Chains A and B, each alone.
Chain A
Amino acid sequence: MNSSETTLTPSLGPEHTELVVLSILNDQPSYGYAISKQVAARSGESFKIGPSQLYPLLTRLEKQGLVETDWEEIKSASSEPKAKGRQRKWYKLSAKGKKRLASRIEAHRRFTTLINSFIASVPGVEA
């Protein structure tokens, strides 16, 4: 095995990306940019969900009824009182989303258990 193989950073596939995003929203409502920052922060910058991946995913989750959304108007301190502010979209996990999250977690655990059964006894590699 060469050195580059030993330092591979795991990347998120589509299913894991959905799992991570649903988990974050399960903790508390959030919005796109905050979600992407949380993913990076909680994984020690190992995982990054780029906007081109995140926003279409959030759109799909909303379409499937897995998240509920709400809009917030963001105004800067210097803007006029009557001026329109920027719009921020908040996401919150729906009841359907919670079920999906539970099923994703279950599938992930089953998968991990299966993989572990293969690698637990590989000689020369510490568990």
Chain B
Amino acid sequence: MSAPHQTTNSQDTRQKATVQPSTRDPIERWLDVFTGLLAVNARQRERIRDELEDHLRMRAQDLMILGESEPEAVQRAVKELGETAELARRFKEATHQPRRSTIMHSILLAIAGTGLAVGAVTLTGTPTAMPLAAAVGVVQPAQDEIKTLGVDLPAGPLEQALSTVAEMTGTPMFVHWASIENELGVDRGSEVAFIPAKNLAGSKILELINASLGLEGADVIDVRVEENLVEVATRGYFDRLEMVTMDHDVSALVPAVGVLDTTDEAETLRENIMLMVEPELWYPDRGTAATATIAITGSRLSVRAPERVQAQVDLYIAQLKHAATDQLRKGELATKAAREEHNAERLRTAERIRRNCGDLNTEVQSLSEKLERIGTEYWGHFYRSDQLERDYSFALVEEGADSDAVLAQLVQQKARIESIEIERDLLKSRLHAVQDRLMQAEDMLASYQ
């Protein structure tokens, strides 16, 4: 197939985007968070990202044509994608298809008619907070497809109970008695109590059969369906059969180190997975189930475990990545808040300096006006004094002139001039000081802008 436009195969060679939330646009930031939640391999993750980016940009463009601003358009386009974790789960469901069809409800075989039943497998086992069906990544049957057995199971040997289930569902059943007898210590004749199975789903019936036989944890009877055959064996038997090795990318959770190096964080992650995901599989002494192994080198987590467990590991890692992203987001918000507070404080300080500059300017203006007035007064007294000196010289030689009176006026003028000079010097000194302070305040204000 070829696209109607220019086509490229450069997809595989493109560099994987790195998380740089502060510098990327909102669509890229959302895609960073979303792809962090995607429990698929790196290649699939990048392709899903590319496709959703195309959708988001097209949608935002359309919304902008309809009159929305760019931020509004982007926000709405992202919102229309729905809840991020749910979308990631749907992609995971669509992407993962188990090698063997496994069933939660063996009775589905009868309902499906074709034997193409699908579902998840855990019929009993260690309770876990994780939604296992989602983790296994299989298609869940619609609620109305889940039917019940229709009859009760009378008390009797295990073989009889299983035969009744097979008979009622009309599906051939093969029981691996050797695995059950050798690993679980029960046999065909082991007594199963009466089970009111008439209205129970298959998973519950098997759970009750296990409970009736005193089986729990990893050491239980389990079932698988393939084509038109139901297989019954121990969980350990199926786990050994479905053992695969997979690599999981944990670069978002452990520090970057050399390919063969490991870190304390990686070791903690390894231990947490062993504790949280089917612990009995990693610690053989806890049960007779298949032993899984786990190793971290660099940013790669290698897990050898049954397929169903691989999916749980994937989900656990996805949850941790989500938490890490959330933590990063919270950290960014805290940094942003601190930055905003810092900026607000700078603005408040700048405003205080600005007001101070205004006050100093007013003072400079007032002092300058006073100096101007006093200067005018000074020169008035100076000229008057100069005149009196000439009058006094004239009065000394002029007969009948009152030279003493002129002298008295002259002395008075001189005293006034001296007083004005002192006041003027004080004003000048004060003006210079205020001008210095104003200059410093203006420099400081410039540094805040």
Contacts and interface: CB of A to CB of B under 8 A. Distances in A.
A84 B6 contact: no
A29 B94 contact: no
Give the size range of B's interface with the partner.
35 or more
B283 to A, nearest CB: 35
Contacts, number: 92
B1 A88 contact: no
Given A56-B91, A69-B1, A33 B8 contact: no
Interface string A57-90: 1011001000011111110000000001011111
Contact of B1 (A56, A60, A70, A87): A70
B5 to A, nearest CB: 5
Contacts of A68: 1
A118 to B, nearest CB: 19
Give the size range of A's interface with the partner.
20 to 34
B92 to A, nearest CB: 9
Nearest to B55: A33
Interface in B53-82: 53-55, 57-59, 80-82
Given A52-B90, A55-B51, A84 B4 contact: no
B447 interface: no
Contact of A32 (B2, B11, B55, B95): B55
A73 B54 contact: no
Contacts of A59: 48, 91, 94-95
A55 B3 contact: no
B22 interface: no
B97 A33 contact: no
B314 interface: no
B52 A55 contact: yes
A55 B40 CA distance: 15
Given A32-B51, A60-B94, A68-B1, A73 B81 contact: no
Interface string A5-28: 000000000000000000000000
A72 B5 CA distance: 7
A59 B139 CA distance: 13
A52 B80 CA distance: 8
B377 interface: no
Given A55-B55, A72-B8, A86-B54, A92 B95 contact: no
B7 A70 contact: yes
A62 to B, nearest CB: 9
A33 B3 contact: no
A59 B80 CA distance: 19
Given A70-B2, A71-B3, A87 B51 contact: yes
A45 to B, nearest CB: 14
B7 A29 contact: no
A68 B3 CA distance: 11
B4 A29 contact: yes
Nearest to B15: A84
Contacts of B47: 89
Nearest to B84: A52
Contact of B50 (A29, A53, A70, A86): A86
A72 B57 contact: no
A88 B4 CA distance: 11
B5 A84 contact: no
A50 interface: yes
B80 A71 contact: no
A73 B10 contact: yes
B93 interface: yes
A3 to B, nearest CB: 29
Contact of B8 (A60, A63, A73): A73
A31 B80 contact: no
B50 A50 contact: no
A71 B11 contact: yes
Contacts of B95: 59, 63
Given A71-B8, A84-B10, A90-B3, 12 more contacts: A33-B54, A33-B55, A52-B82, A56-B91, A57-B94, A59-B94, A60-B93, A63-B94, A72-B3, A72-B6, A73-B10, A74-B5
Closest 6 CB pairs of A and B: A52-B82, A87-B50, A56-B90, A59-B94, A72-B3, A56-B94
16 contacts: A32-B55, A33-B55, A33-B58, A56-B87, A57-B94, A59-B95, A60-B94, A63-B95, A71-B3, A71-B9, A72-B6, A73-B6, A86-B50, A86-B54, A87-B11, A87-B54
Interface of B: 1-11, 14, 47-48, 50-55, 57-59, 80-83, 86-87, 90-91, 93-95, 97
